[in-house]
Amino acid sequence: MDTLVIEGGTPLEGKIRVHGSKNAALPILAATILAAGEHRIEGVPDLLDIRVMLKILSELGIGSRHHDHVVDLDSRIITTSKVPESLMGQMRSSIMLMGPLLARMGEAVLYRPGGCAIGSRRIDLHLDGLKKMGAEIVEREGVMYCKALKLVGTKIVLDYPSVGATENIMMAATLAKGTTRIVNAAREPEIIDLQNFLNKMGARVVGAGSNEITIEGVERLHGASHRVIPDRIVAGTLLSAAAITGGDVALCGVNPSHMEAIADVFLRSGVEIRCSNDIMRIIGTSRPKAVDKVTTSPHPGFPTDMQPQLMAYLSIAEGTSIINETVFDGRFRHVSELERMGAQIYIDYHTAIIRGTSRLSGARVEATDLRAGASLILAGLAAEGKTFIEQVHHIDRGYENVDQMLTKLGARIYRRSEIYKAN
Ligand code: UD1
């Protein structure tokens, strides 16, 4: 496993292009199962989770080629509806294959999905929604056997606006008989991107971005081309990197309207943000001000995927800040690592109270999950001395060449591979 070594204290400066969204690309790639055709998806980042998704599609018979952020896929023939257990366990998004496989093949055999350890991460809303559309799902010894001769459109009210459940049901409903209404749907920008791709394939989906999505089932879908939206969490992380180092960075190729809740909190802390078209420039301040209270919630609220990064930032703010995590029940694993670097954070159930300190110091820490790892990079960029971050593979799941990205902005960061360490 690689280690990231960071020598903190350099304000980041310059311009950087933000890569495409992993969380938009994953369901879009899964959606190609729905149509017998050829597809071209652009703006797909080269990340581990994307590689796993393409590997699963290839096991199902869908060949693909990923080059320069473009993925060409051929889904004309699908040879099996069984997803291998070893691949299924490698990421949470593998559950996204259930809806498309059921819709196209009438059956699917899957295992419980893996993914970041940030809480209980149930899949009941996925299963209940698909069952309501007529799927039979039986689970025996961790294997989920799913069958549906023909899915039938219906009204599905989600207890919680789950991103994954909304996407899974949306995809399944495109080939169902009749109309499906998803009430209390998730409203994330990635859902709108999926709707746009599904409609390019000939689906009839409206309402994404609002809390009610309507899908009129069609007989068949066809191949399509699409460019995925920029990654708002990567953009938010780079914004945090500029802010925590008191730097001046222009993010290019972003959609500022996807980032309003993030920008709002950083503006409250005293940074300057200037937006024009797809460019967002962040000008840091000498020391951020604490923010009274930030609560994570589904879009358009403050994203849980930015909570650890915000916590690292607020740990050097002047004053005391409060973060309330409402989306995941186990998403404070970065706290003990940040504390090793001098952060002063007190946890009370789902609430973190962060007493800002003027100085963090480099330490040896561990990335326990993707965004926890991102928060440690930020802390390392601001800290005095050297920070060593282990378990970097978690970070590589969501940031393409994170070390190179930050080096371009002047950060002193490098990757030490296992082979090098052994010598
Ligand atoms: C997606 C994102 C992830 C982000 C999350 C919330 C992808 C690939 N991942 O994950 O980065 O952190 O949205 O913005 O897009 N829940 C249930 N039952 C279910 C499904 C979810 O109780 O069937 C709960 C979860 O345990 C969690 C909450 O709902 O507490 C949010 O989960 P969900 O919105 O489904 O997140 P994901 O789609 O897994």
pLDDT at position 122? 86
pLDDT at position 119? 65
Ligand 1 centroid – CA 296 distance (Å): 13
Residues of the chain with pLDDT under 70: 114-120, 418-423
pLDDT digits (tens, 9 = 90+) for 235-287: 999 999 999 999 999 999 999 999 999 999 999 999 999 999 999 999 999 99
Phi, psi of 375 (to 5 degrees): -65, -35
- Distance (Å, whole) CA 354 – CA 306: 16
**Identified catalytic residue from 116, 146, 252, 275:** 116
**Does ligand 1 lie within 6 Å of residue 189's CB atom?**
no
pLDDT at position 419? 56
- For the beta carbon of residue 158, count every other beta carbon within 10 angstroms: 18
pLDDT at position 91? 81
- Distance (Å, whole) CA 150 – CA 88: 25
How far CA 389 is from CA of 47, 274, 357, in Å, comes to 19, 32, 21
How far CA 391 is from CA of 219, 230, 366, in Å, comes to 46, 26, 6
- Cβ-Cβ contacts under 8 Å for 337 (sequence gap 6 or more): 365, 366, 368, 372, 376
pLDDT at position 330? 81
Going by CA atoms, what residue is nearest to atom 12 of ligand 1?
A: 305
Q: What domains can you pick out in the chain, each with its CATH number? A: 2-19+230-417 (3.65.10.10), 22-224 (3.65.10.10)
DSSP 3-state of 345? strand
- Distance (Å, whole) CA 108 – CA 85: 13
pLDDT at position 422? 45
Going by CA atoms, what residue is nearest to atom 2 of ligand 1?
A: 23
- Distance (Å, whole) CA 326 – CA 293: 13
- Distance (Å, whole) CA 303 – CA 259: 9
pLDDT digits (tens, 9 = 90+) for 112-163: 876 556 666 789 999 999 999 999 999 998 899 999 988 999 999 999 999 9
Going by CA atoms, what residue is nearest to atom 15 of ligand 1?
A: 23
Ligand 1 centroid – CA 327 distance (Å): 8
State the pTM of this model: 0.96
pLDDT at position 423? 41
**Does ligand 1 lie within 6 Å of residue 95's CB atom?**
no
Clarify whether 116 is annotated catalytic. Answer: yes
pLDDT digits (tens, 9 = 90+) for 317-329: 999 999 999 999 8
DSSP conformation letters of 313-324: HHTTSBSEEEEE
Ligand 1 centroid – CA 164 distance (Å): 6
Structure tokens at 149: 């001769």
